[in-house]
A = this chain, B = another copy of it.
Amino acid sequence: MTISEIVQRSDTIPGRMFDLTVIVLILVSVVTASIETLPNLTPDIRSILSWSEIAIVGLFTIEYGLRVGTAPRKLRYVLSFHGIVDVAAILPFYLTLGGVDLRALRVLQLFRIVRVLKLSRYSVAMARFGKAMALAKEEIVLFACVAIALLYLSAAGIWYFEHEAQPEAFASILHSLWWATATLTTVGYGDVYPVTVGGRLFTFVILMCGLGIVAVPAGLVAAALSRVRQEETQSGS
User: Could you list 11 further interchain pairs (A-B, Cβ under 8 angstroms) beyond the known A39-B171, A116-B153, A218-B219?
Assistant: A39-B167, A110-B157, A119-B145, A129-B139, A139-B229, A182-B188, A185-B186, A188-B188, A189-B193, A212-B221, A215-B218
A187 within 8 A of B: yes
A85 within 8 A of B: no
Q: Which A residues, 95 to 127, have Cβ-Cβ distances below 8 Å to chain B? A: 106-107, 109-110, 113, 116-117, 119, 123-126
List residues of A whose CB falls within 8 A of some B CB.
30, 33-35, 37-39, 106-107, 109-110, 113, 116-117, 119, 123-126, 128-129, 135-136, 138-139, 141-142, 144-145, 147, 149, 152-153, 155-157, 159-160, 163, 167, 171-174, 177-178, 181-183, 185-191, 193, 200, 203-204, 207-208, 211-212, 214-227, 229-230
- A109 x B219 contact (CB < 8 A): no
